[in-house]
Chains A and B, each alone.
Chain A
Amino acid sequence: MATTKLPSSADALLGAAADAAKPPAGMETVTMPYGVPGYTLHDVQRQVPTTEPPVLPVNADLEYIGKSPKRWDAHAKVSGSGRYTADIQLPGMLYAKFVSSNVPHAKVVSIDTSAAEKVPGVKGVFVIENLLGGARLLNPSLEVSKYPIVRYAGQPIAAVAATQPHIAEEAALLVKVQYDAKPFVVDMEMARQSDAPPVFPGPANQGGSAGGGGGARNVPQTGNIHGPAVHKRGDVEQGFKDADFIVESKYTTQVQVHNALETHGVVADWKPDLLTVWASTQGTASVREELASFFKLPKSQVRVITEFMGGGFGAKFGPGNPGVVAAALSKQTGAPVRLMLDRKEEQLSVGNRPSSDQTLKIGAKKDGTLTAIQLISFGTAGCGTGAGCAGPATNLYQSASLHTEENDVFINAGPAAAFRAPGHPQGAFALEQTIDELAEKLNMQPLEFRDKIDTNPVRRVERQIVRESALWKSRNPVPNADRGPIKRGVGLSQSVWYRHIVMDSAAEVRVHRDGSVEVLSAVQDIGTGIKTVMAQILAEQFGVPPQQVSVKIGDTNYPVGPNSGGSVTTASLTPAVRDAAWQAAQKFLVSVAPALGTTPDDLVLTKGEVHSKSGHMQPISFRRAAAKMDTSEVSAQARRIPDYDPKHYDTYGGVDVAEIEVDTEMGIIHVKQFFAVHDCGRPMNPSQVINQINGGLIQGTSFALYENRLIDPTYGLMVNANLDLYKIAGARDIPKLHVQLVESYIAQSSTDASGIGEAAGIISAAAAIGNAFYNATGVRIRSTPMTPSVVLETLSKAPQRSNA
């Protein structure tokens, strides 16, 4: 590892002028790599705290960081020794089962649990009651009920805990719920009508000014519509007047369900002095915070553990109903309680990606300059919010003016939850096809047009890589060029995501006299491999192979870790880990210096050896030096410090190219391959980054072609709440995936890492397939999922192309 701090050259180069830029006390100026190696790499200077470790060089000059060692926990995962929440077995543990509503909209009149309580083996029943407290029903005409209003089929109402899972299931069926059924609506278009049954009993035409702070004011509610949330930049009307070409189109996308391999669930063990919860969560900190707040416990009396976790995609923050109910049942029964959702419950009640119905209008001058972007969107997040999808339209391209209106439409269906790049796959599906459509009107090629309107320097490099790729060169720029029923097409889409970091990110590093090192943080590994990255950082610092580093995470007994959502984990935590490792190494040198007959200042730890700067001694291995520590252990804890240049706001993303074949007789789209070029700051572990992009492309392909939540309009029930009828891309549906990473140094932290989870293909896959579809057929496909019926309907309504 290069541990030499790169010298600042500011004073020498700038002379007196450098005095003005002299860093304040406690800070120093360092030179850091910035840009893309091979394209735009150059040095920049940053003022950083003097406690920061030396600047890392680019990955090519490092031994462990930026390389792809075997996953730290690979053996535990493939051998089954890794303990997921469902694997937790505690003495006397009970198994809980939800009682869920079987109607989509109702007032609960009564709940009779007596029969369930009499079942041998049942130890506890918990009924979710209304927690009105001092609150008043917003609609005074509603009679106060003991129980919450049911707003979707599948809403948890109660839970039963028993000694065996099957006993809990049988007893749950005996809980009698009497409903006062209310009119419901599960179709978004119907819900938008003025006479639609209201999902929330708020008064119509309620203004938004009464809302809380922090967000846009004046977001109205009209019937079942929350919105529009309006965002303006410049004068869009003038922008369209200034345009030489305007494209306006409607696009629709469906509701997608998360379907992480591991369902939501917890094991809660309530003891008088400590509530311990094993949780399948993306945020141990979020679960602890909410359980402590809900039960009015000190945080110090709530411990959350996530040893292994089987995915969440954004839907696993906080304890949710499973966490709160399991903890309440544990408190009630005095026994540990496990509550894991089954697949049906998972699909109904814990989140989904909202649908969208978008009208997008973009204007451009003849030279390609965008003059106006206008997006009007409606979408349903069920009985929740979050259906906005203006992110790509707002942030991907430069336009003289912008006007977006985002509307949530309430229906009687399960609430949405954050889902990998919220709003962005939907928004990109419309935006990126419209950009291609506009490029054709301008007689420009897709890459050429994007070069004109996208100023992001990294995506410019990525487009250049795409331009030079064999796949893109194989693209026939003339749409519908193939004769015969099977038509080949190649199309691309770009993606954008944002650099978010979580300051509550800390780690502790310990060095032991036996030469072992360990790192501890409460952060959870949601499957993306943060354990391995943490091991790599310590390996780089101490010269110990990553597999020999002890990584202890997923436990709130350790220093606080970031919740993993929004692509924050690596960007947030790794600088804290490296800072702690650096500081522990300095303490280690202090500890061994006396035994080595020198001073700490004379020693440097690099590449697994302790060196004397003065030549006082021959290099000695880290392990041998550790044996000379004057204490059995040294440790350091560090937390995330702000980005070095917080005023500079980075986005990242990629360019994805899809090759497809369209069977125009059967309506089947076969995605043959993706070529994906992506950036995420410094790739800490390229293999793991590529794995995330592979996953994003697969999930995006699945969204584009297959997945769709279907609700029967007559009964308001989801008819495919399983993994049989809810179609997800399988092995035969997955295309070949070729990923090229672009190292992009941004000089923001001691690791310079960013995130990849959101931008990793899920945003752009459907749009790239859409553009490839047009390239193949000469017809725009504007709806997902692109099922055979949608494909055939799209082709049948299109005007015949002369070159068919």
Chain B
Amino acid sequence: MSATETAAGVKSPPCRCLRTKNAYGTSPQSAENWLPGMHASSSYWCLLTQGPAGPDEHYVHLTRCGPGRSCYAAPED
């Protein structure tokens, strides 16, 4: 994977209820769980609904499940 792919912005941790297969693996490039650059081919689900919609009935995604969403749960909570 090219280095430029890792340039995707990282501002805040995603909701602790967001899940994807990628969250269960790591790249040797970094210790972070979220595999940069692969989000467009990643399928996400919500822990609480076990489906692609969150409790607020909007879709869940790495680019959607951040602070400001009413159902967002920070990892440290």
Q: Decide if A and B are genuine partners.
A: yes
Question: Out of A200, A317, A502, which one reaches B57, CB within 8 Å?
Answer: A200
Closest chain B residue, CB of each to CB of A227? B40
Q: Is A215 an interface residue (CB 8 A)?
A: yes
**A216 adjacent to B61 (CB under 8 Å):** no
Closest chain A residue, CB of each to CB of B33? A214
Known: A138-B56, A290-B19. A211 touches B65 (CB 8 A): yes
Q: Which residues of chain A come closer than 8 Å to B18, judged between CB atoms?
A: 212
Q: Is A503 an interface residue (CB 8 A)?
A: yes
**B55 adjacent to A133 (CB under 8 Å):** yes
Known: A233-B4, A415-B43. A324 touches B11 (CB 8 A): no
Chain A min CB distance to B16 (Å): 8
**A422 adjacent to B24 (CB under 8 Å):** no
**B2 adjacent to A317 (CB under 8 Å):** no
Quick one: which of B1-59 are within 8 Å of A by CB? 1-2, 4-5, 8-15, 17-22, 24-29, 31-32, 34-45, 47-59
**B35 adjacent to A500 (CB under 8 Å):** yes
**B25 adjacent to A568 (CB under 8 Å):** yes
Question: Out of A210, A285, A385, A394, which one reaches B42, CB within 8 Å?
Answer: A385
Q: Is A176 an interface residue (CB 8 A)?
A: no
Chain B min CB distance to A161 (Å): 18
Question: Out of A208, A219, A384, A647, which one reaches B43, CB within 8 Å?
Answer: A384
**Which of B14, B27, B52, B65 has the most chain A CB atoms inside 10 A of its CB?**
B52
Q: How many residues of A contact B (CB 8 A)?
A: 91
Question: Out of B27, B53, B55, B71, which one reaches A200, CB within 8 Å?
Answer: B53
Known: A385-B61, A500-B27, A566-B21. A210 touches B44 (CB 8 A): no
Counted as pairs of residues, one from A and one from B, with CB atoms less than 8 Å apart, the total is: 245
Q: Which residues of chain A come closer than 8 Å to B57, judged between CB atoms?
A: 137-139, 142, 148-149, 200-201
**A294 adjacent to B22 (CB under 8 Å):** no
Known: A390-B40, A406-B40. A214 touches B34 (CB 8 A): yes
Chain B min CB distance to A637 (Å): 20
Closest chain A residue, CB of each to CB of B11? A213
Known: A290-B47, A423-B41, A502-B26. A212 touches B53 (CB 8 A): no
**B1 adjacent to A395 (CB under 8 Å):** yes
Closest chain A residue, CB of each to CB of B17? A293
Q: Is A283 an interface residue (CB 8 A)?
A: yes
Q: Which residues of chain B come closer than 8 Å to A202, judged between CB atoms?
A: 58-59
**B14 adjacent to A314 (CB under 8 Å):** no
Q: Which residues of chain B come closer than 8 Å to A391, judged between CB atoms?
A: 38, 41
Closest chain B residue, CB of each to CB of A383? B52
Known: A229-B39, A642-B28. A208 touches B53 (CB 8 A): no
**B24 adjacent to A317 (CB under 8 Å):** yes
Q: Which residues of chain A come closer than 8 Å to B15, judged between CB atoms?
A: 212
**A135 adjacent to B62 (CB under 8 Å):** no
**B43 adjacent to A386 (CB under 8 Å):** yes
Known: A139-B57, A226-B61, A384-B44. A134 touches B13 (CB 8 A): no
Quick one: which of A407-431 are within 8 Å of B by CB? 408, 410, 415-418, 422-424
Q: Considering the chains assembled together, what is the distance between the CA atoms of A383 and B54 in angstroms?
A: 12
Q: Which residues of chain B come closer than 8 Å to A142, judged between CB atoms?
A: 57
Known: A317-B24, A502-B24. A212 touches B64 (CB 8 A): yes
Q: Which residues of chain B come closer than 8 Å to A748, judged between CB atoms?
A: 28
Q: Which residues of chain A come closer than 8 Å to B62, judged between CB atoms?
A: 211-212, 214-215
Known: A314-B21, A385-B61. A214 touches B32 (CB 8 A): yes
Q: Which residues of chain A come closer than 8 Å to B65, judged between CB atoms?
A: 211-212
Question: Out of B1, B35, B67, which one reaches A212, CB within 8 Å?
Answer: B67
Q: Which residues of chain A come closer than 8 Å to B38, judged between CB atoms?
A: 391, 422
Q: Is A643 an interface residue (CB 8 A)?
A: yes
Q: Considering the chains assembled together, what is the distance between the CA atoms of A502 and B25 in angstroms?
A: 5
Chain A min CB distance to B26 (Å): 6
Q: Which residues of chain A come closer than 8 Å to B17, judged between CB atoms?
A: 293
Which residues in B have some Cβ–Cβ distance to A below 8 Å?
Answer: 1-2, 4-5, 8-15, 17-22, 24-29, 31-32, 34-45, 47-59, 61-72
Further pairs besides A381-B43, A384-B44: 20, Cβ < 8 Å: A133-B55, A137-B57, A155-B51, A211-B64, A212-B72, A214-B34, A219-B61, A219-B63, A226-B59, A317-B24, A318-B47, A383-B53, A385-B59, A389-B41, A410-B59, A417-B21, A499-B28, A501-B26, A566-B21, A642-B28
8 inter-chain pairs at a CB distance below 8 angstroms, sorted by A residue, are A135-B71, A136-B70, A138-B70, A212-B15, A212-B64, A215-B63, A386-B43, A418-B20
